Homo-oligomer: A and B are copies of this chain.
Amino acid sequence: MLLSTSASIVIALLMGIAGVAFVLWQLKRVFAYDQGNELMREIGTAIQEGASAFLAREYRVIAVFVAIVATVIAVFLQWQTAFCFVSGAIASAGAGYLGMYVAVRANTRTASAASRGLHEGLRVAFGSGAIMGMSVVSFSLIGMTLLFLIFNGDPNQLTYITGFGFGASSIALFARVGGGIFTKAADVGADLVGKIEKGIPEDDPRNPAVIADNVGDNVGDVAGMGADLFESYSGSIIAAATLGAALGNGSTVAYIGLPFLVAAVGVISSLFGIYMVIGKERDESEAANASYYSKSVYYLSQYVAKINENASLEDLLTALRRSVWGASVVVLGLTLLAVLMSGLHFNYWLVIVTGLVAGNAIAYVTEYFTSYTEKPTLAIAEATQTGAATTIIQGLAVGMMSTALPVLITAFAILISIWLGHKADGTLAAGLYAVALAGVGMLSTLGVTLATDAYGPVADNAGGIAEMSHLPEEVRQRTDALDSLGNTTAATGKGFAIGSAVLTALALIAAYVSAAKIESLDILAPTMLPGLLIGAMMPYLFSALTMMAVGKAAHEIVLEVRRQFQEIPGLMEGTGKPDYKTCVGISTESALREMILPGALAVLVPIIVGHVLGKEALAGLLIGTLLSGFLLAVMMANAGGAWDNAKKYIETGEYGGKGSDSHKASVVGDTVGDPFKDTSGPSLNILIKLMTIVSLVFASSFGSGWLSF
């Protein structure tokens, strides 16, 4: 039996609903954990209030932004696109809100659970991450499928739905760029006064910026990463469906249905992977008499059982890796079924496999370059012996070197995908559809990969709370183990995010070229080269702006923290109460203010270039941004991750350990790496995708350009 497109869409909708059911169940489960002692609850409440204040403020600005853009779209394009735009924004913002809501409540519960054992802690933190992961996937699927059903039969159906991607991109802009500035401004501001001027430890409740810092962790790695991948996930499906619509000579629409179907089976696989981490151990006797189903659950659970109290970082990492790999194996089987049931060529399954393998390969390379068990990061640690300058040089060199393999992997994946698609259907268009499908494949297990990522800040916060509320040393050790693990998964997550951003953007560019009815895109055409050059420059300009923004915002925090230490009596002695809220407010305001210019550039430059230099030059602009942004993003993310871990390596006692000159040099590297890996680098994913989706949405409005000849 072959599946019709409508059937595929309905299946995807149902799987989205299943995902929501899981989220609700998991919410109940996480909230059932206790929040620890009074002090922990107090700190937890402060973080929750800070997060709420940030989100309330940010979402108010977003609402205005969305209203304005929606009006522009409705006036200049169609109301349907505007409607989809608003839907996309709401779906992404909703997932982000839920993820943040849970994360800032799971942190105290993780700290508390960690006092009972390592696996208990992991279960709560990971459960919270899973809520974020599954919300992103489900909300995206439900949103897109509902819109698809609403506009069913309308020939411009897919054009409208690009608006959903634009809506998601807009939220990602705020969450990633604004959030990235917030998180690092608070972090750097807190450290500059706290650690350096006042000599108090990190995560000290006396520091007025400490809550802003804790909120920031969640803003960056939960809401930011979530919105980034929500955008890639939606974008890759939209791009695949749009490119698919042009295939098969209209005789079959299975091409449109397939990406939805792949996403749908991805939900099942992700749930399976998540279960491998949070599932309970069962005892042998129970298993012996159990049903076949329960038995298999038992054996699967035994993977989990490896996480015992003496688990090393490697053990924990293995546990998480198994869950991602387990999900990947399941998705491979189910997507084969999906391709066969769609009646499409077997090659398309190979394309999905290519995407999945490429994503994991990039993540693996990222881990290699940023983990302190490997040569590149060790070389940075070694370079700390000759001071801060050599530490920086070595780190930048490692970051640059680390671009080679991800680029080769991506280039190879693109080449194979195009070749497979071309072989299957004999057209270049099928090849580009295959690239989009590879992107969908790469992101099919997003539910679980994002969970491994979004749990990190929860563990990080839990550690801070354990520190601030003076829990026993062993609890802190456990949360530290969870946190270290989170750092590694965060680095690999960033590799995944940029890899998927590239494939998604490329697919969206192909969709743009088709939507703008561009016949030929000769690389030596008059306006193409200027387009490419300006495009390649955009990531540099954007990074410069976001890096400077962190500096300015951090400076404001510094002034406020200094003021509080001066004006609040007994603050240093622990008798006065710091005003956490003002610091959160300042971080929020400055982050929102500083993102205006880079954000406006990302939205306006494509529109300006499209009108002035024409639609061909705009394609050049997008390719230029993609190329240069990909490289710069990987370089920044990996250099930042490697510096961070080189510092952590020295803190284990190598090269003189904490307080040594080597350590000081490594701190310089880590501080430079902070905006690299948490603000500017990840923001480039957004730049690449946002510029592309803006071009796609406005594709029909561009002509040959005022300056064309």
Interface residues of chain A, those whose CB is within 8 Å of chain B, are 192, 196, 383, 386-390, 392-394, 396-401, 403-404, 407-408, 410-412, 414-415, 418-419, 422-423, 428, 431-432, 506, 509-510, 513, 520-530, 532-534, 536-537, 540-541, 543-545, 547-548, 550-551, 613, 619-620, 623-624, 627-628, 630-631, 635, 667-668, 671-672, 675, 707, 709
**B533:A414 contact, CB within 8 angstroms:** yes
Known: A386-B192, A422-B709, A668-B389. A400 touches B524 (CB 8 A): no
User: Taking A411-B533, A668-B388 as contacts, is the C-beta distance between A526 and B709 under 8 angstroms?
Assistant: no
Docked Cα-Cα span, A53 to B428, in Å, equals 58
User: Which residues of the partner chain B approach A541 to less than 8 Å between Cβ atoms?
Assistant: 400-401, 403-404
Contacts A386-B192, A524-B513, A668-B389 hold; do A397 and B534 have CB atoms under 8 A apart? no
Residues of B within 8 A of A389 (CB): 388, 667-668, 671-672
A383 to B624, CA, bound (A): 32
Contact of A393 among B624, B627, B667, B672 (CB under 8 A): B672
- Among the listed B432, B521, B533, B544, which residue makes an inter-chain contact with A398, where contact means beta carbons less than 8 Å apart? B544
Known: A533-B410, A709-B422. A540 touches B627 (CB 8 A): no
Residues of B with C-beta under 8 A to A550: 393
- Known A-B contacts: A411-B529, A415-B527, A624-B627. Give 8 more (CB < 8 A): A388-B388, A403-B537, A408-B534, A419-B709, A428-B526, A506-B529, A533-B627, A627-B627
- Which residue of chain B has its CB nearest to the CB of A708? B419
Q: What residues of B have a CB within 8 angstroms of the CB of A411 in the complex?
A: 529-530, 533-534
Given known pairs A524-B428, A623-B523, the reply for A407 and B630 (CB within 8 Å) is no
Closest-by-CB residue of B relative to A390 is: B551
Does the CB pair A620–B523 fall under 8 Å? yes
Most B-side CB within 10 Å, residue of A411, A624, A635, A707: A411
Known contacts A400-B541, A400-B547, A523-B623: A392-B393 contact under CB 8 Å: no
- Name the distance in Å between A273's Cβ and chain B's nearest Cβ: 30
A431 and B708 CA atoms in complex are apart in Å by 13
CB < 8 Å neighbour of A619 from B399, B410, B523: B523
24 contacts between A and B (CB under 8 A): A192-B386, A383-B551, A387-B671, A389-B667, A390-B671, A393-B550, A393-B675, A397-B548, A404-B540, A408-B534, A411-B529, A419-B709, A428-B524, A428-B525, A506-B529, A513-B524, A520-B520, A523-B523, A523-B528, A532-B627, A533-B627, A624-B627, A627-B628, A668-B668
Interface centre among A196, A394, A548, A550 (most CB of B within 10 A): A548
Q: Which one, B403, B534, B635, contacts A407 given CB within 8 A?
A: B534
Considering the chains assembled together, what is the distance between the CA atoms of A628 and B672 in angstroms?
A: 22
Name the B residues within 8 Å of A526 (CB-CB): 415, 418-419, 422, 428, 431
Task: Given the known inter-chain contacts A393-B551, A672-B393, A709-B422, please indicate yes or no for A544 contacting B414, CB distance below 8 A.
Answer: no
Q: Nearest B residue to A664 by beta-carbon distance? A: B388
User: Which B residues are in CB contact (< 8 Å) with A623?
Assistant: 523, 532
Closest to A542 in B: B400
The closest CB in chain B to the CB of A387 belongs to B668
Verify B628–A631 contact, CB threshold 8 A: yes
Q: Which residue of B lies closest to A413 (CB)?
A: B530
Please name the residue on chain B nearest to A529 by beta carbon.
Answer: B414
A675 partner residues in chain B, CB cutoff 8 A = 393
**What separation, in Å, do the CA atoms of A528 and B627 have in the docked complex?**
12
Is B536 a contact partner of A407 (Cβ separation < 8 A)? yes
Q: How far is the CA of A154 from the CA of B566 in the complex (A)?
A: 85
Chain B, Cβ-Cβ closest to A404 = B541
CB neighbours (8 Å) of A668 from chain B are 387-389, 392, 668
* Cβ-neighbour of A630 out of B527, B533, B635 (below 8 A): B533
B532, B540, B547, B709: the one contacting A635 at CB < 8 Å is B540
Q: Are B628 and A407 in contact (CB under 8 A)?
A: no
Is the Cβ of B428 less than 8 Å from the Cβ of A628? no
Within 8 Å CB of A533, what residues of B? 407, 410-411, 414, 627, 630
Cα(A530)–Cα(B397), bound, Å: 23
Are the CB atoms of A400 and B543 closer together than 8 Å? yes
Q: Which of B192, B513, B544 contacts A401 (CB 8 A)?
A: B544
A672 vs B545: C-alpha distance when bound (angstroms): 21
A533 CB to nearest chain B CB (Å): 4
Residues of B within 8 A of A522 (CB): 520-523
Complex Cα distance A523/B547, Å?
32
- Could you say which residues of chain B place their CB within 8 Å of the CB of A400? 540-541, 543-544, 547
User: What residues of B have a CB within 8 angstroms of the CB of A394 in the complex?
Assistant: 548, 551
Instruction: Give every chain B residue within 8 A of A414 (Cβ-Cβ).
Output: 529-530, 533
- A537→B671 contact, CB < 8 A: no
Given known A-B contacts A526-B431, A551-B390, A631 and B397 have beta carbons under 8 A apart: no
Q: Looking at the assembled complex, report how far the CB atom of A194 sits from the nearest CB atom of chain B, in whole angstroms.
A: 14
Chain B neighbourhood of A521, CB < 8 A:
522-524
Chain B residues with CB under 8 Å of A613's CB are 415
Say how far A512's CB is from chain B's closest CB, in angstroms: 10
A623 to B513, CA, bound (A): 20
Residues of B within 8 A of A529 (CB): 411, 414-415, 418, 506
Contact B397 A544 (CB under 8 A): yes
| A422 to B398 Cα, complex, angstroms | 45
B631 touches A537 (CB 8 A): yes
A530 and B407 CA atoms in complex are apart in Å by 9
Query: Complex Cα distance A389/B668, Å?
Result: 5
Interchain CB contact under 8 A, A392 and B390: no
Q: Which A-B residue pairs are the 4 nearest by beta carbons?
A: A389-B671, A400-B544, A411-B530, A401-B544
Q: A522-B520, A532-B627, A628-B631 are in contact. Are A537 and B404 (CB under 8 A)?
A: yes
- Select A628's contact among B419, B422, B431, B628, beta carbons within 8 Å: B628
Give min CB distance, A522 to chain B, whole Å. 5
Report the Cα distance A525→B631, complex, angstroms. Answer: 21
Q: How far is the CB of A256 from chain B (nearest CB, A)?
A: 21
CB distance from A370 to the nearest CB of B (A): 15
Task: Give CA–CA (A37, B517) in the complex, Å.
Answer: 76
Nearest CB in chain B: distance from A695 CB, A: 14
Whose C-beta in chain B lies nearest to the C-beta of A530? B411
Chain B residues contacting A523 (CB-CB under 8 Å) are: 521-523, 528, 619-620, 623
Bound-state CA distance A398–B513 (Å) is: 34
- Cα A623 to Cα B627 in complex, Å, equals 11
